[in-house]
Amino acid sequence: MVVDLLEWVLAEHRGRTAEDRGPMVDPARVALFWPGGSMTYQELHRSVDERARALVAEGVDARAVWPMVARNDVDGVVTLLAVWRCGATVAPINPKLTGVEADAARTALEGVATDAQAILWTSGTGGTPRGVALSFDNLREHATAVGDRLGSSTDDVWLFSLSIAHVGGLALLTRALLTGAAVFAAGSFDVKIASDLIDGRQPSRAQSPPGLTPRLVTHASLVPTQLLRLLDHRSEGPPPSFRCALIGGAHAPADLVARALDAGWPIALTYGMTEMTSQVATAPPDRVRAKPGALGKPLGGVELKVSGDGEIAVRGATQAIGYVGSDEAMADAEGWYHTGDLGRIDDDGDLWVTGRRIDRIVSGGVTVDAVEVEQALRAHPAVLDACVVGVSDAEWGEVVGACVVPADGAFDLDAVDEALREELSAAKRPRLWSIENELPLNANGKVDRARVKVLLERGRALS
Q: pLDDT of 208-227, one tens digit each?
A: 444 444 568 999 999 888 99
Q: How many CA atoms lie within 13 A of 84 on its CB side?
A: 24
**What does R_g of the chain's alpha carbons equal in angstroms?**
22
CA distance 388 to 359: 9
- Cα 31 to Cα 4, 74, 130, 193: the distances in Å are 11, 10, 32, 18
In this prediction, residues 92-110 reach a mean pLDDT of 75
377 CB-contact burial (10 Å; exposed 0-12 / middle 13-18 / buried 19+)? buried
> Dmax of the chain from CA atoms?
73
Measured CA to CA, the distance from residue 81 to residue 63 in angstroms comes to 15
CA atoms within 13 A on the CB side of 135: 13
Query: Residue 10 above 50 pLDDT?
Result: no
Q: What is the DSSP string of 344-391?
A: EE-TTS-EEEEEESS-EEEETTEEEEHHHHHHHHHTSTTEEEEEEEEE
Provide φ and ψ at 16, rounded to 5°. -110, 155
Q: Which of 2, 75, 89 is nearest to 39 (CA)?
A: 75
Compute φ and ψ for 11, nearest 5 degrees: -60, -30
CATH top class, domain 2-356: alpha beta
Mean pLDDT across the chain, nearest whole number? 85
Q: What is the DSSP letter of 299?
A: P
pLDDT, tens digit, 9 for 90 and up, residues 137-187: 999 999 999 999 999 888 999 999 999 998 999 999 999 998 889 999 988
pLDDT 10s digits, 231-249: 999 989 999 999 999 999 8
Cβ neighbour number for residue 54 with a 10 Å cutoff:
12
**Domain span(s) for CATH 3.30.300.30 in the chain:** 360-461
φ, ψ (nearest 5 deg) of residue 167 = -60, -35
Q: Are 399 and 429 in contact (CB under 8 A)?
A: no
Of 303 and 451, the structure prediction assigns the larger pLDDT to: 303
Q: What is the pTM of this model?
A: 0.79
Element (H, E) at 157: strand 157-159
Class of domain 360-461: alpha beta
Residues of the chain with CATH 3.40.50.12780: 2-356
- The H or E element containing residue 221 is strand 219-222
Q: What is the pLDDT of residue 111?
A: 65
Task: Report the relative pairing of strands 2-3 and 24-25 from DSSP bridges.
Answer: antiparallel
Of 136 and 442, the one with more pLDDT: 136
